[in-house]
Amino acid sequence: MEACRDQEQLITDIDAHEFFHGAIETALHNQAIAVSGETVVYLGNLLTTFINTDYLFEHTEDGMMLKPLAMHYKEAVEASTSKQRFLLLRRLGDVSLCISGMYSQSLNRGLVDIDYYIAMGGNAYSYLSETDKTNMTCGLKVAFSELASKFTEMIDVLSEVSEASHLGSSFDVLRMYEMWQKTGNNRIADKLKQTGIQPIKTAMQRH
């Protein structure tokens, strides 16, 4: 077995990380779900990052846009290095988990249901835990394995944390973007621009 590399440095926003760490442990206890400490730490880091919607949206030449999961997957498949593929699949898993857990109400009205996010995110984490041996610590391997096998349970955990944390502002931005994608409404577009999101019509919306 290969020696483990040093553990990843934790996110430096200690207050937010400690808050989410406690909220995750409470949700796990309430739902009688057992996971390793590595997974709790990973989820705490993930939520500390995703409270800023900049991490959900992609910065492009046309502004900030929400990239479809299929595009994340396509880029991972076409990655030229194992390191790049690792990062892209990790982001695919993270985005799938956070949107389905923290913003599941949006998926209830979306064109893609939550099963799609479960399949995409779970498969991404599973691939990382089973095949990648050079780009992660032992702790990450444990976390990815549990996130893959308990993806649905982790959605429930994040949903409880989201409700307890009142993460409404981030949800409102995501919901507005989704509504604009469906309707092209100019008023919604103006509100998105005020948050720093530049709505760009897709080929489907132009027809």
The string of pLDDT tens digits covering residues 44-91 is: 999 888 766 667 777 666 666 677 889 899 999 999 998 999 999 999
Phi, psi for 110 (deg, rounded to 5): -85, 175
The string of pLDDT tens digits covering residues 106-117 is: 555 455 678 889
Cα(177)–Cα(190) distance, integer angstroms: 11
Share of the chain above pLDDT 70, in %: 63
The pLDDT value given to residue 101: 86
The mean pLDDT value for 119-134 works out to: 89
Where are the domains positioned within the chain?
14-201
Tallying the residues shown for the chain, one arrives at: 207
Please give the sequence-ordered ranges of beta strands (E in DSSP) within 41-164, or none if there are none: 58-60, 63-65
DSSP state of 63: E
The whole-model pTM stands at: 0.72
The mean pLDDT value for 193-200 works out to: 63
Residue 161 has pLDDT above 90, yes or no: no
Mean pLDDT over each residue of the chain, to the nearest integer? 77
Question: Nearest CA to 104 among 91, 95, 113?
Answer: 113
Burial state string for 48-85 with b = 16 or more CB within 10 A and e = fewer than 16: bbbbebeebbeeeeeebbbeebeebbebbeeeeeeeeb
**Residues in CB range of 53: below 8 A, 6 or more apart:** 170, 173, 174, 195
The DSSP line for 173-202 is: HHHHHHHHHHH--HHHHHHHHHTT------
Cα(113)–Cα(109) distance, integer angstroms: 8
